[in-house]
Chains A and B, each alone.
Chain A
Amino acid sequence: MPVRETEGTKLWQRRTGRESLAHWIMWLIGVAVFAYCWQRISEATTWFFVWDAPRIAGDIWTRATPPRWEYIAQLGEPIWDTLNIATLGTIIALMLAVPVAFLAARNTTPSALFIRPIALLIIVSTRSINSLIWALLLIAIIGPGVFAGVVAIAIRSIGFCAKLLYEAIEEIDETQVEAIIATGASRWQVMAYGIVPQILPAFAGIAVFRWDINIRESTVLGLVGAGGIGLQLSASLNVLAWPQVSLILIVILAAVVISEWVSAKVRGAII
């Protein structure tokens, strides 16, 4: 019990002396690291531009308002492309993620020693690289366009979907699987009747959740040339057409809000 004596009475305190010393040192190191980081960042900054920032921000704001509403007629096709990139990318990702998830889950993997680490490596490496980087890479390989965006979104989503799915597979009720095995079912029948019905709700939830995220990500893929509304955004930014930029941002914001609403509704219906 950490207590302290003041004028003969014992007072409770939160930590013992040694604990508070350790806390102090941790805080000191933390502050020192942060101060160093901040100093390096500030060295690389042109402070003149920063002091000028409020004026620039006001300037951009006056240029960007009001948005150029008639430009929306040209945005129909990019929005359709964006939707396609997100949806087709999610579908392809799910098709690839299901086998990876089954190989990665401890209770369904054929070999915990050899195949499971490979599946986990696929999950980690696809998850840790952003879809914009995948898009950059795919544009260098298969050329700019919507297809590169679809593949980029698909690859990026494999890791995410497979990770959530294999956690769901590991949490299934084993007694149901045992019951199916007891009827003399083959390996594939056990999967189809013992495991799949248990993870189907989770699967549907993951699919909709990832689709929502993919809508967000596909709106900016165009910045590197992978199709969708981001192409219009980068074209407008390059010619400093701020009224068009503000309209595109409004459209992207609306798309994000709508997709989040749809995904919340669908997930609410499933669960």
Chain B
Amino acid sequence: MSASEISLEARLGQPWKKPPFIQRPWLRWTLIAGFVAYLIAAYLTIEVNWARVYDGLERGKQFVLAFTSPDFTTRSSDIYEGMLESILMTVAASVVGIAISIPIALGAARNVAPLPVYLICRAIIAISRALQEIIVAILLVAIFGFGPLAGFLTLSFATIGFLSKLLAEDIESMDKVQAEAIKASGARWMQWINYGVQPQVMPRLIGLSMYRIDINFRESAILGLVGAGGIGATLNTAFDRYEYDTAAAILIIIIVIVMALEYLSGIIRARVQ
């Protein structure tokens, strides 16, 4: 504050200027210069075949037009089977993933678990979060063979990292008083978790689970690209054959299901909170 008061005399009569977002001038200019230098370097190294892009615009227009007349019928049995498989994978993986992530979340909360358990559970979470779904899917397809089982395992594995981390954070920030009151009544460990901890984190657990089901469904749509089951394989074939109307139909179904899930999770979250 003192700096602005000293310069008050000098500032009087001068027009006001917006204060910059980054206060230190040298840092600001270094960041701007570095950013511009990077942009130039990036622009110079990216090869864009503009003639090819220009050619593609016609196909792009066809694809956009395909959305106005999506073809649900020609490949309806492929679409139906792929969609069903995606949904089966989503449901099964969400159930198993959530069931496994609850004990891991308890283990990864410092106020519930002792240090060795805490470290092991945190390590599991870190591994699961660092590996991407599609890479896990590639490895699991190599190990377990093609089919929805690999996709199911991939999604379960990814759910564990996501859900355990966020749930553990919620358990760590819970109200200690309630849990202590249950403990003081002579409850066993299981009862303590059931009556002291669980009611506090339940709304968050339900909200996170709904969100994760949503993510799992979206991810299940791409696992087919590497052979792990679901609608992805059908979609890939449709693109390869330039059957844009079928691809548009699949994308519309995905968007509608995601929107419905989001709407549903909004209702459920509003009810439990």
Contacts and interface: CB of A to CB of B under 8 A. Distances in A.
A6 to B, nearest CB: 18
A114 interface: no
A118 interface: no
A49 B37 CA distance: 52
Contact of A53 (B131, B143, B239, B255): B143
Interface string B47-90: 11100110011011001000000000000000000001100110
Contacts of B202: none
B236 A136 contact: yes
A204 to B, nearest CB: 8
Contacts of A81: 45-46
A253 interface: yes
A38 B222 CA distance: 20
A249 B130 CA distance: 11
Q: Name the prevailing secondary structure of the B interface residues.
A: helix
Given A56-B143, A132-B222, A132-B225, A142 B91 contact: no
Interface string B137-149: 0110011110111
Interface string B99-133: 00000000000000000000000000000001110
Contacts of A185: none
Interface stretch (A16-24, A40-48, A66-74, A101-109): A40-48
Contacts, number: 145
B255 A125 contact: yes
Contacts of A60: 139, 142-143
Contacts of B225: 132, 136, 223-224
A20 B130 CA distance: 40
B210 interface: no
B235 to A, nearest CB: 7
Given A40-B88, A146-B47, A216 B144 contact: no
Interface string A52-85: 0100110010000000000000000000110010
Interface of B: 18, 21, 38, 42, 45-49, 52-53, 56-57, 59-60, 63, 84-85, 88-89, 91-92, 95, 130-132, 134-135, 138-139, 142-145, 147-149, 152, 218-219, 221-222, 225-226, 229, 232, 235-236, 239-240, 242, 247, 251, 254-255, 258-259, 262
Q: Which 9 A-B pairs have the closest CB atoms?
A: A49-B145, A128-B258, A142-B56, A37-B92, A45-B149, A141-B56, A143-B52, A37-B88, A141-B60
22 contacts: A34-B95, A37-B92, A40-B88, A41-B152, A44-B149, A45-B144, A53-B143, A57-B143, A60-B143, A87-B42, A88-B46, A124-B259, A129-B221, A130-B221, A133-B235, A140-B63, A140-B242, A142-B56, A147-B48, A220-B132, A237-B138, A257-B130
